[in-house]
Amino acid sequence: MTPLVSVIIPNYNHAPYLKERIDSVLNQTFQDFELILLDDCSTDNSRDIINGYADNPHVSHIVLNEKNTRNTFIQWERGIQLACGKYIWIAESDDVAESTFLETLVGQLEMNPNAVVAYSHSLMIDSDGQELPYSWHKKGSPGTIHTFDGNTFIRQKMLVDSRIYNASMAVFCKSVFQLLPKDYQAHRFCGDWLFWTYVCQHGQVIEVCRRLNRFRQHQNKVSVKSMDQGQNWRDNASVISCIADLVNITSLQRRCLRGRWTKRFHKYDGANREEIKQEFFTILDGNLLDICCYEIGKWFGFLKNQ
Residues 200 and 228 in one domain: no
Residues 209 and 260 in one domain: no
Q: Which of 217, 233, 109, 214 is nearest to 168 (CA)?
A: 214
In which domain, by residue range, is 61 found?
Answer: 5-217
Residues 147 and 233 in one domain: no
* pLDDT at residue 306, rounded to an integer: 44
Residues 60 and 185 in one domain: yes
pLDDT in tens, 193-237: 999 999 999 999 999 999 999 999 987 765 555 555 567 888 888
Q: Could you tell me the pTM of the whole model?
A: 0.91
State the Cα–Cα distance between residues 39 and 11, nearest whole angstrom: 5
Asked if the model's pLDDT at residue 56 lies above 90, the reply is yes
- The answer to which of 141-150, 183-192, 204-213 has the lowest mean pLDDT is 183-192
Taking each helix axis as running N to C, give the angle between helix 231-246 and helix 222-229, from 0 to 180 degrees, rounded to the nearest 10: 100
* pLDDT at residue 287, rounded to an integer: 81
Percent of the chain surpassing pLDDT 90: 66
Q: CB under 8 Å to 71, separation ≥6 — which residues?
A: 185, 188
* pLDDT at residue 259, rounded to an integer: 87
Residues 277 and 165 in one domain: no
State the Cα–Cα distance between residues 265 and 269, nearest whole angstrom: 9
The larger pLDDT score, comparing residue 57 to residue 231, is at: 57
pLDDT in tens, 65-105: 999 998 999 999 999 999 999 999 999 999 999 999 999 99
Domain presence at residue 39: yes
Asked if the model's pLDDT at residue 300 lies above 90, the reply is no
What is the number of structural domains in the chain? Answer: 2
Residue ending a domain, choose from 199, 217, 235: 217
Residues 98 and 140 in one domain: yes
Residues 178 and 248 in one domain: no
CA atoms within 13 A on the CB side of 220: 15
Residues 129 and 182 in one domain: yes
Residues 112 and 161 in one domain: yes
**Given pLDDT bands bounded at 50, 70 and 90, which one contains residue 61?**
very high
Residues 134 and 244 in one domain: no
Residue 26 identity: L
Residues 73 and 112 in one domain: yes
Residue ending a domain, choose from 176, 196, 217: 217
Residues 186 and 282 in one domain: no
Domain presence at residue 306: no
Mean pLDDT of the region 33-43: 98
CA atoms within 13 A on the CB side of 300: 9
Domain presence at residue 305: no
The rounded mean pLDDT for the chain is 90
The larger pLDDT score, comparing residue 204 to residue 253, is at: 204
Residue ending a domain, choose from 187, 217, 247: 217
